[in-house]
Amino acid sequence: MISLTSPVETAAHHWRAGIKLSALCFATVVLFAADALAWQAAFLIATVLFYALPGVAFLRSGLGRLSGLWPFVVLILIWHLVSGDLEAGFRIVLRMLTAVALANLVTMTTKLSDMIAVVRWLLTPLRRFGVETSRIELAMALVIRFTPVLAAKGQMLTQAWRARSRHRPGPRILIPFAVLAIDDAEHLAEALRARGGL
């Protein structure tokens, strides 16, 4: 598993996780409330400036983590071009890029343990009803940690396919990718059992 926190130290690293997550929620509400294309473009530019403030290294690292969105950007724009509403396509793309970039910015500047602590505090009332909040906290941590790992393994499978075939991999790599994901899940389950489980 890898850490999603940026090694480049910024002022936002020292802000409280609850404040950053609250600001993210507020920014997302404003983002979806604004409908004008110009506002969406302005929000995206402002987000890029937030990435640029700590320096070039932080900017490159942050934008590099958003590279996986480009297939979705292309598909959305093609669909709206065919349907004859390209402006709506640009609006959706800008909104998606800004929302994911803001969430990524919070993730890069916040330790996972701090985010889990906020979730633990929010879930405290559920304990009165017998809900085991530790399971929810663990599930959240595993999703955040393993998503980039699985994405990296998917890229490795794609590269391995391209090295052996002239054809595009397409859905052919889904089965080996699923096998890899199940194998990782089994190893994780064994590790959890070895440590006492939940």
- pTM for this entry: 0.69
Per-residue pLDDT tens over the stretch 15-70: 888 889 899 999 999 988 888 889 999 999 999 998 888 888 888 888 888 877 88
**Looking at beta carbons, which pairs linking 58-66 to residues 24 or more positions away fall under 8 Å?**
58/6, 58/8, 58/10, 58/108, 61/6, 61/8, 61/108, 62/6, 62/101, 62/104, 62/105, 62/108, 65/104, 65/108, 66/97, 66/100, 66/101, 66/104
Residue, of 173 and 45, whose pLDDT is higher: 45
Per-residue pLDDT tens over the stretch 74-124: 889 899 888 888 888 899 999 999 999 999 888 888 887 888 888 888 888
Mean pLDDT of the chain: 83
Radius of gyration of the chain (CA): 20
